[in-house]
Amino acid sequence: MICKQREARVHLTQIDQGKIKKVDLCEQCAKEKGVDDPTGYALADLLLNLGAPTESTRSTSTVTSCKSCGLTATDFKKSGRLGCPDCYAAFKEILSGLLESMHRGTRHIGKRPGAGRPPVVASDQLTLLQQQLAEAIAVENYEEAARIRDRIKSLKSADGRVLSA
Amino acid sequence: MKLHEFLPVVSQAVGRVGPNDWVVLSTRVRLARNLRSNLFPDRAKKNDRIRVCGIIRREVEALPQMAGGFAESMESLSAFEKQTLVERHLISREHAMRGAGSALVLSKDTSLSVMINEEDHLRMQSLKPGMQLQEAWVAIDEVDTALSKTLDFAFSDEFGYLTACPTNVGTGIRVSAMLHLPGLVLSEQINRVIQAANELGLAVRGLYGEGTEALGNLFQVSNQRTLGQKEEEIIERVGKVVNNIIENEKNARGLLLQNNPKMVYNHIGRAYGILANAHSISSKETMNLLSLFRLGFDLGFFPGVQRSFIDELFMVTQPAHLQARFAGKLSAEERDIRRADMLREAFRNVERPSMPSDPASSLDKT
Which tens digit of pLDDT belongs to each residue from B242-255?
999 999 999 999 99
State whether A107 and B158 contact (CB < 8 Å).
yes
Residues of chain A under the 50 pLDDT cut:
1, 36-62, 116-120, 158-160, 163-165
Distance from CA of B171 to the nearest CA of A (A): 6
pLDDT score recorded for residue A150: 80
The verdict on B72 touching A (C-beta cutoff 8 Å) is no
pLDDT score recorded for residue A159: 46
Split at pLDDT 50, 70, 90, the class of B301 is very high
Give tens-digit pLDDT for B227-282: 999 999 999 999 999 999 999 999 999 999 999 999 999 999 999 999 999 999 99
State whether A88 and B169 contact (CB < 8 Å).
yes
pLDDT score recorded for residue B35: 96
Give tens-digit pLDDT for B28-83: 999 999 999 999 999 999 999 999 999 999 999 999 999 999 999 999 999 989 99
pLDDT score recorded for residue B324: 81
CB < 8 Å to B200, chain A: 135, 139
CB < 8 Å to B229, chain A: 103-105, 109-110, 128
* DSSP character at residue B76: G
Average pLDDT for residues B330-342, to the nearest whole number?
Answer: 91
CA-based nearest residue to A81, from B147, B119, B84, B113: B119
In this model, does residue B298 exceed pLDDT 60? yes
Q: What angle do CA A146, A147, A149 make, to 5 degrees?
A: 60
Least confident segment among A52-56, B307-311, B336-340, B357-361 = A52-56
Q: Give the whole-angstrom CA distance, residue A98 versus residue A103.
A: 9
B140 vs A132, which has greater pLDDT?
B140
- Per-window interface: B 240-299 vs A, CB < 8 A: none
pLDDT score recorded for residue B181: 96
CB A26 within 8 A of CB A9: yes
CB B62 within 8 A of CB B148: no
pLDDT score recorded for residue A120: 47
Q: Is B222 helix (H, G, I), strand (E, B) or coil?
A: strand
Split at pLDDT 50, 70, 90, the class of B84 is very high
pLDDT score recorded for residue A6: 66
Distance from CA of A52 to the nearest CA of B (A): 25
The ipTM value here is 0.84
Average pLDDT for residues B125-134, to the nearest whole number?
Answer: 95
H/E element, B180 = strand B173-180
Average pLDDT for residues B333-353, to the nearest whole number?
Answer: 94
Distance from CA of B228 to the nearest CA of A (A): 4
The verdict on A128 touching B (C-beta cutoff 8 Å) is yes
Q: What is the mean pLDDT of chain B?
A: 92
Q: Give the whole-angstrom CA distance, residue B97 versus residue B73.
A: 12
Split at pLDDT 50, 70, 90, the class of B294 is very high
Nearest to B225 among A68, A85, A104 (CB): A104
CA-based nearest residue to A93, from A117, A73, A109: A73
> Which pTM was predicted?
0.77
pLDDT score recorded for residue A35: 54
pLDDT score recorded for residue A158: 44
On the CB side of B205, CA atoms within 13 Å amount to: 14
Conformation bin of residue B330: beta by default, left when phi > 0, alpha when psi is -120 to 50 = beta
- Per-window interface: B 148-177 vs A, CB < 8 A: 148-149, 152-167, 169-171, 173
A22 vs B144, which has greater pLDDT?
B144
CB B238 within 8 A of CB B223: yes
Best of B163, B195, B230, B245 to substitute, by most chain A Cβ atoms within 10 angstroms, is B230
Rg (CA), chain A: 21
pLDDT score recorded for residue A52: 40
Report the percentage of chain B scoring pLDDT > 90.
80
Q: Give the whole-angstrom CA distance, residue B34 versus residue B105.
A: 16
pLDDT score recorded for residue A9: 63
Q: Give the whole-angstrom CA distance, residue B34 versus residue B50.
A: 14
- Per-window interface: A 90-109 vs B, CB < 8 A: 95, 98-99, 102-109
H/E element, B315 = helix B307-316
